[in-house]
Amino acid sequence: MSIRLHNNLTRCVEEFSPLDPGRVTMYVCGPTVYHHVHIGNARPYVVFGLLARLLRRVYGAEHVVYARNVTDVDDKINAAALAAGVPIDAITGRYTAAFREDMQKLGADVPDVEPHATAHIAEIIAMCEKLIANGHAYAVEGHVLFDVTSCPQYGQLSRRSVEDMIAGARVEVAPYKKNPADFVLWKPSTSELPGWESPWGRGRPGWHIECSAMAAAHLGATIDIHAGGNDLMFPHHENEIAQSTCANRRQFARYWLHNGMLTFDGRKMSKSLGNVLQLHELLRRHPPEVLRYLLLRAHYRQPLDWSDETLKQARATLDGWYGVLRDLADVEAADGDVPASIEAALCDDLNTPQAFAELAKLADEARRAVSTAEKRNAKATLLAGGELLGLLREDPERWFRGGEKVEESEIESLLDQRRAARTARDFKRADEIRDRLAAMGIAIEDGPQGTRWKVVER
Ligand code: AMP
Ligand code: ZN
């Protein structure tokens, strides 16, 4: 099945055709590890992780190289380390581990390589030297700056002219710059800041050159797909293109993909606005599949508004699908492959809303299945569709019981007491027990097969 992707270079949906189908390459800008990530930060890693999954399925896992870097040297990290009175690697080590744990819980696909900027200082310095030698950069007062006037295609991704950038004040004015739009490749470090020896004195890299150097080191001069949030399009991705193209004299990334922003109360979720919901906190309160479903529910290019209401709806949708699987618990699933309708939806520029509509249809079919053969096939297809989307991987009974966290023995004991009270026709006592369970966030449902319970809130 061929994949079609919206390429932001052309602003069109195009047929994806890798340069070498034997080595399909994708680079996704990774986190800056100075804090816990928020749920918005997770969107690119869940979305483009799903793309990596699809590429691995279509081209074979051994033919795909997915790189997601870790930005472990940055002024925000320096500020956090100074504030805590510890070296930067104490901060970056802690938050890299926390990030990996959060991603694993969300089912975000693991990259093939996870390069760290601090492990690529030699490549960064070499790239700066090459750019200076090629006439695209200049050294001044311990800085190395990229000369934007040397790069005629500068602005091609974000479709801005250098004049627009200056007029929009999106650039930092500094006395040592030839042009206000020139950006930093290398900057000097004072003795209390992390730094590395370089031809321009002790210093540290700028953020943009880190990604250019890591992408080239692990994927080559030209890569197939480069992705990240659309807030990175300018200046970060524009600058990556300028650096890589001018240093390597080849096209840098052939397809540029950007996810829309996750908003909260209508505004972009971001640390600087102070409206963040930390992912590790959300993971404590909600099943990871609910969060994953919500992150994928909107098309990746659209904005995605987060609210308690959407969380409730997501939970209800998954409860519906898990309910079907619970009713089929005694049916052994047949051997099933991924449903073509779901794969086709994903191949159409990662159309996850369509993929979920198809999954809902499969759940309906499974609900309506009558014969054992129908049930076995329907269960298999539903599970296989869920698997591709990273959902429906839990045991249905456990899902409704809220995973391991609920003290099942306590609930069972209360249900026994309620049964005994009802047998003794002590309905007041039975109702009291029901209320007590409700206060614990447990809803019960009396049916022909006895009393079932589920966690409604945790
Ligand atoms: P940062 O660590 O700030 O560089 O962000 C890591 C990734 O999260 C980048 O790809 C950003 O584009 C992305 N990102 C940041 N905020 C949001 C948001 N509110 N919604 C979606 N993606 C975001
Ligand atoms: Zn980057």
The rounded distance, in Å, linking the Cα atoms of 329 and 100 is: 33
The CATH code that applies to domain 264-400 is: 1.20.120.640
Q: What is the pLDDT of residues 282-319, one digit of tens each?
A: 999 999 999 999 999 999 999 999 999 999 999 999 99
The CATH code that applies to domain 19-259 is: 3.40.50.620
**How far away, in angstroms, is 272 Cα from ligand 1 center?**
12
The rounded distance, in Å, linking the Cα atoms of 173 and 160 is: 18
The mean pLDDT of 122-150, rounded to a whole number, is 98
**How far away, in angstroms, is 170 Cα from ligand 2 center?**
18
Q: Which residue ranges have their beta carbon within 6 Å of ligand 1?
A: 29, 31-32, 40-41, 43-44, 228-229, 231-232, 259, 261-262, 268-270
19-259 and 264-400 agree in CATH topology: no
Ligand nearest to the CA of 261: 1
Ligand nearest to the CA of 235: 2
153, amino acid identity? Q
**How far away, in angstroms, is 29 Cα from ligand 2 center?**
4
The mean pLDDT of 390-403, rounded to a whole number, is 92
The mean pLDDT of 238-248, rounded to a whole number, is 98
Q: What is the pLDDT of residue 145?
A: 98
What is the token pair recorded at 104?
């694993």
Tokens 């061929």 sit on residue? 2
Ligand nearest to the CA of 237: 2
Asked if residue 155 has pLDDT above 60, the reply is yes
Q: Which comes out higher in pLDDT, residue 385 or 412? A: 385
Sorted by where each begins, the domain ranges of the chain are: 19-259, 264-400, 408-455
What is the token pair recorded at 427?
């309905």
**How far away, in angstroms, is 388 Cα from ligand 2 center?**
27
The rounded distance, in Å, linking the Cα atoms of 83 and 78 is: 9
Q: pLDDT band for position 44 (50/70/90)?
A: very high
The closest-lying atom of ligand 1 relative to the alpha carbon of residue 228 is: 10
**How far away, in angstroms, is 403 Cα from ligand 2 center?**
36
Count how many residues are written for the chain: 458
Q: What is the pLDDT of residue 215?
A: 98
The closest-lying atom of ligand 1 relative to the alpha carbon of residue 33 is: 2
Burial of residue 250 (CB within 10 Å: 0-12, 13-18, 19+) is: exposed
The mean pLDDT of 353-362, rounded to a whole number, is 98
The mean pLDDT of 408-418, rounded to a whole number, is 85
Q: What is the pLDDT of residue 163?
A: 81
The closest-lying atom of ligand 1 relative to the alpha carbon of residue 260 is: 21
Asked if residue 33 has pLDDT above 70, the reply is yes
The rounded distance, in Å, linking the Cα atoms of 301 and 73 is: 29
**How far away, in angstroms, is 277 Cα from ligand 1 center?**
13
CB 102 within 8 A of CB 292: no
Asked if residue 133 has pLDDT above 70, the reply is yes
| Residue from 26, 41, 102 whose mutation best tests the ligand 1 pocket (most atoms within 8 A of CB) | 41
Ligand nearest to the CA of 27: 2
**How far away, in angstroms, is 371 Cα from ligand 2 center?**
53
Largest CA distance in the chain: 91
Q: What is the pLDDT of residue 295?
A: 98
| Residue from 48, 72, 210, 231 whose mutation best tests the ligand 1 pocket (most atoms within 8 A of CB) | 231
Ligand nearest to the CA of 30: 1
| Residue from 43, 268, 282 whose mutation best tests the ligand 1 pocket (most atoms within 8 A of CB) | 43
Q: pLDDT band for position 448 (50/70/90)?
A: confident
**How far away, in angstroms, is 41 Cα from ligand 1 center?**
4
The per-residue pLDDT of the chain, averaged, comes to 94
Classified as helix, coil or strand, 29 is coil
Q: What is the pLDDT of residues 72-114, one digit of tens each?
A: 999 999 999 999 999 999 999 999 999 999 999 999 999 999 9
Asked if residue 333 has pLDDT above 70, the reply is yes
**How far away, in angstroms, is 199 Cα from ligand 2 center?**
24
**How far away, in angstroms, is 289 Cα from ligand 2 center?**
28
Q: pLDDT band for position 458 (50/70/90)?
A: very low
Q: Pick from 195, 270, 202, 204: which is nearest to 232 by CA?
A: 270
The closest-lying atom of ligand 1 relative to the alpha carbon of residue 31 is: 2
Query: What percentage of the chain exceeds 70 in pLDDT?
Result: 98
Q: Pick from 300, 316, 314: which is nearest to 262 by CA?
A: 300
Q: What is the pLDDT of residues 160-200, one digit of tens each?
A: 888 887 777 667 778 899 999 999 999 999 998 999 999 99
Q: What is the pLDDT of residue 457?
A: 53
The rounded distance, in Å, linking the Cα atoms of 162 and 167 is: 9
Nearest CA to ligand 1 atom 2: 31
**pTM of the model as a whole:** 0.89
The closest-lying atom of ligand 1 relative to the alpha carbon of residue 37 is: 2
Q: pLDDT band for position 342 (50/70/90)?
A: very high
Asked if residue 325 has pLDDT above 50, the reply is yes
